[in-house]
């Protein structure tokens, strides 16, 4: 059973889309094949905007939405440490079988941050 917060992020996902030309990271959930791409707009070493595109289940969409919320406003150093636990906490938890959704979103977020760091210097 999904929490109210998870259902809210699934039914009304935040930050859907893509930042054109920005750093991006992709990840796939090996358990089911869900995918996510997270793209960023970085200004002065801080994530000014984070967007996602995901193909997958409700858990994948909710976790991707939550990841973008957590990334926005963070420094690249802070964003580099985004983990599945923070995503699950924002969502009020995920069923154990959906933990891979949060792992996937966190991996895509960290990959986008790594690309942003590489581009900056």
Report phi then psi at 111, rounded to 5: -65, -40
**Full-model pTM:** 0.95
Q: How confident is the model at residue 31 (pLDDT cuts 50, 70, 90)?
A: confident
Write down the catalytic residue from 32, 69, 80, 89.
32
Instruction: Quote the CA–CA distance of 58 and 39 in Å, as a whole number.
Output: 20
Would you say residue 1 has pLDDT above 90? Answer: no
User: Is the pLDDT confidence value at 103 over 90?
Assistant: yes
- The arithmetic mean of pLDDT across residues 62-83, rounded, is 98
Which domains does the chain show, CATH number per domain? 4-120 (3.90.1010.10)
Pick the more confident residue, 40 or 119: 40
Select which of 27, 82, 84, 101 is catalytic.
Answer: 101
The residue behind tokens 């923070």 is: 86
The predicted structure's pLDDT at residue 30:
87
Quote the percentage of the chain above a pLDDT of 90: 94
């Amino acid at each position: 059973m999904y929490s109210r917060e998870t259902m809210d992020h699934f039914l009304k996902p935040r930050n859907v889309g893509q930042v054109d030309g920005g750093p991006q990271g992709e990840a796939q959930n090996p358990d089911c094949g869900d995918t996510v791409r997270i793209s960023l707009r970085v200004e002065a070493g801080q994530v000014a905007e984070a967007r996602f595109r995901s193909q997958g289940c409700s858990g994948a969409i909710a976790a991707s939405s939550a990841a973008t919320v957590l990334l926005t406003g963070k420094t690249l150093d802070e964003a580099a440490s985004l983990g599945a636990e923070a995503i699950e906490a924002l969502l009020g938890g995920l069923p154990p079988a959906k933990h891979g959704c949060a792992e996937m979103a966190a991996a895509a977020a960290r990959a986008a941050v790594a690309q942003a760091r590489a581009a900056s210097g």
